[in-house]
């Protein structure tokens, strides 16, 4: 049975999509079967894996609406062992459309039941908000990875997200674990980066991944070519960091 991991933080620009794409690709090259779900109306995880977003006719929107099954909308990617449920800008409307539906928080969880056994890992790239789509993702997930950028406002909003996770555990999904806090955009030359790492490790100790994602130009370039960092430059620091993260997650599950 596949492990469902949501990658979430209501702050934008912390490396959620970068992590979703590259963790999926890294798990794939480590011979794990992966499904990546793009649950962000910006659809960057889809375009970052080479999908023409304008040509997407069915994706996360239809899955949440239950007008198409998860199996119907899965597309293959060029990344080994990685499949994708793509997103389209129309996903933005789902918040309004689901608001009056009964059990609206459970739409994604139900939809994934038919594919959960087909994959080792199902990763969900969440939108930078704590709206209904992210709520659906956290209710469907077994665990959540929280990317935190090594910058001044790193811990701002983290308390709010952790409270949201606690209330989801209490009301909707008692089995939801925090897989780990992932430090991203680390620059060893900056004193601030090192201070943030120390601060996060001091406050959250065992919840923090050993792997730190370093600031890396190649990581920023890869999505514009519709490739993961593994395909774009397998020897770069970014690729090595994400392979290490994938190995850490696999090890944790044993």
For residues 183, 145, 48 and 63, what is the CA-based torsion angle, rounded to 10 degrees? -160
Tens digits of residue pLDDT in 167-219: 999 999 999 999 999 999 999 888 989 999 998 999 898 999 999 999 999 99
CATH code given to domain 3-253: 3.40.50.300
Residue the block writes with tokens 């011979």 = 31
Judge whether residue 83 has pLDDT over 90. Answer: yes
37 DSSP β-pair partners: 85, 124
pLDDT score, position 160: 86
Instruction: Report how far residue 131's alpha carbon sits from residue 184's, in angstroms, rounded to the nearest whole number.
Output: 23
Tens digits of residue pLDDT in 210-244: 999 999 999 999 999 999 999 999 999 999 999 99
CB 37 within 8 A of CB 85: yes
pLDDT band at 130 (very low <50, low <70, confident <90, very high): confident
In a 13 Å sphere around the CA of 4, the CA atoms on its Cβ side amount to 23
Instruction: Report how far residue 185's alpha carbon sits from residue 164's, in angstroms, rounded to the nearest whole number.
Output: 25
Residue the block writes with tokens 């593994």 = 230
Question: The pTM is what?
Answer: 0.96
Tens digits of residue pLDDT in 42-69: 999 999 999 999 989 999 999 999 899 9
3-state helix, strand, coil in the chain (%, to 5): 50, 20, 35
Domain boundaries, the chain: 3-253
Q: Which helix (H) or strand (E) holds 14?
A: none
């Amino acid at each position: 049975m596949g492990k469902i991991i949501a990658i979430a933080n209501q702050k934008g620009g912390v490396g959620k999509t970068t992590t979703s794409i590259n963790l999926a690709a890294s798990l794939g090259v480590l011979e794990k079967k992966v499904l990546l779900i793009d649950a962000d109306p910006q659809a960057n995880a889809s375009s970052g894996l080479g999908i023409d977003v304008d040509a997407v006719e069915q994706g996360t929107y239809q899955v949440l609406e239950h007008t198409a099954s998860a199996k119907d909308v899965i597309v293959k990617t060029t990344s080994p062992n990685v499949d994708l449920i793509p997103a389209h800008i129309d996903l933005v409307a789902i918040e309004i459309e689901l608001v009056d539906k009964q059990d609206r928080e459970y739409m994604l969880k139900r939809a994934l039941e038919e594919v959960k056994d087909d994959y080792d890992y199902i990763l969900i790239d969440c939108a930078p908000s704590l709206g209904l789509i992210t709520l659906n993702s956290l209710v469907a997930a077994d665990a959540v990875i929280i990317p935190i950028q090594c910058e001044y406002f790193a811990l701002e909003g983290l308390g709010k997200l952790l409270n949201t996770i606690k209330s989801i555990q209490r009301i909707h999904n008692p089995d939801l674990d925090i897989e780990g806090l992932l430090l991203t955009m680390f620059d060893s030359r900056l004193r601030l980066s090192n201070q943030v790492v120390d601060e996060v490790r001091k406050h959250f100790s065992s919840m923090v991944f050993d792997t730190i994602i370093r600031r890396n130009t190649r990581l920023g370039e890869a999505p514009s070519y519709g490739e993961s960092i593994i395909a774009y430059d397998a020897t770069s620091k970014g690729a090595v960091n994400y392979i290490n993260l994938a190995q850490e997650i696999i090890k944790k599950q044993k």
